[in-house]
Amino acid sequence: QKEVEQNSGPLSVPEGAIASLNCTYSDRVSQSFFWYRQYSGKSPELIMSIYSNGDKEDGRFTAQLNKASQYVSLLIRDSQPSDSATYLCAVIPGTASKLTFGTGTRLQVTL
Amino acid sequence: DAGVIQSPRHEVTEMGQEVTLRCKPISGHDYLFWYRQTMMRGLELLIYFNNNVPIDDSGMPEDRFSAKMPNASFSTLKIQPSEPRDSAVYFCASSLNTPREQYFGPGTRLTVT
């Protein structure tokens, strides 16, 4: 089992819809969770971090964490074509001091 | 702030040659990370430093790879000799106080022919 798993996609959503991206992780004692956005040919960019159960909102983005079920999700409201990118989920497992990345979900927002 | 700076942005070299990638972290950041990204394997951590000291190099693929951080504002990743399978995008990232929220440089696209 991979440490961090994501559906590779592509996930296609129409403009204005809600995009829902999911990620599961294997280490039950993980404490820190992140979402990075990576446009084609560019570097990953940190967009959200979440450390406790529940929801965290930042503009059109909401991160959701459920430690009991070991999943973290990212919701993008009012999706725009500019949101089309690969979204990487990253976790710091257990007592480790380094990020482990999932392979990313490619999001396509269609007009 | 200028962000993380990497050079060169593109490198094309022949198999067997030495390659040196360079990184300048964000000023004041005390963690520095080297990653490699390929389509097949995704984003992999190679090595990271804290306060210029290597902490974890378990991701370095083999002895052909080495990394140094002689001071707080400069790090190098060296591949000697290079092989075609080393072709990838190499990213440097830095963070402040913890390894949590990392900021990535633009990357170096390495092609070994």
Residues linked to residue B24 through DSSP beta bridges, in sequence order: B5
List b or e across A13-51, with b for residues whose CB sees 16 or more CB atoms inside 10 angstroms.
Answer: beeeeebebbbbbebeebebbbbbbbeeeebbebbbbbe
Q: What is the pLDDT of residue A2?
A: 74
Between β-strands A11-14 and A105-110, what pairing exists: parallel, antiparallel or unpaired?
parallel
Which token pair is A86?
């690969």
User: Residue A94: pLDDT above 80?
Assistant: no
- Which of B5, B29, B30, B43 best tests the A interface by mutation, with the highest count of A CBs <10 A? B43
A104: three-class secondary structure by DSSP: coil
Hey, what long-range contacts does B81-84 have (CB within 8 A, 24 or more apart)?
B81/B15, B81/B16, B81/B17, B81/B18, B82/B13, B82/B14, B82/B15, B82/B16, B82/B17, B82/B18, B82/B19, B82/B110, B82/B112, B83/B15, B83/B112, B84/B15, B84/B112, B84/B113
Q: What is the pLDDT of residue B22?
A: 98
From chain A, the residues in CB contact with B102 under 8 A are 46, 99
Q: What is the pLDDT of residue B108?
A: 98
CA distance B99 to chain A (A): 6
Q: What is the pLDDT of residue B61?
A: 87
From chain A, the residues in CB contact with B105 under 8 A are 43
CA distance A69 to A65: 9
From chain B, the residues in CB contact with A101 under 8 A are 42-43
CB-CB: which of A34, A46, A88 is closest to B43? A88
Which token pair is A12?
């296609």
What chain A residue is nearest to B5 in terms of C-alpha separation? A43
Q: What is the pLDDT of residue B1?
A: 62
Q: Percent of chain A scored above 90 by pLDDT? A: 83
Q: What is the pLDDT of residue A1?
A: 67
Instruction: Extract the residue ranges of chain B whose pLDDT is less than 50.
Output: none
Q: Mind listing the pLDDT tens digit for each residue in A25-78?
A: 998 888 899 999 999 999 999 999 999 999 999 999 999 999 999 999 999 999
What chain B residue is nearest to A90 in terms of C-alpha separation? B100
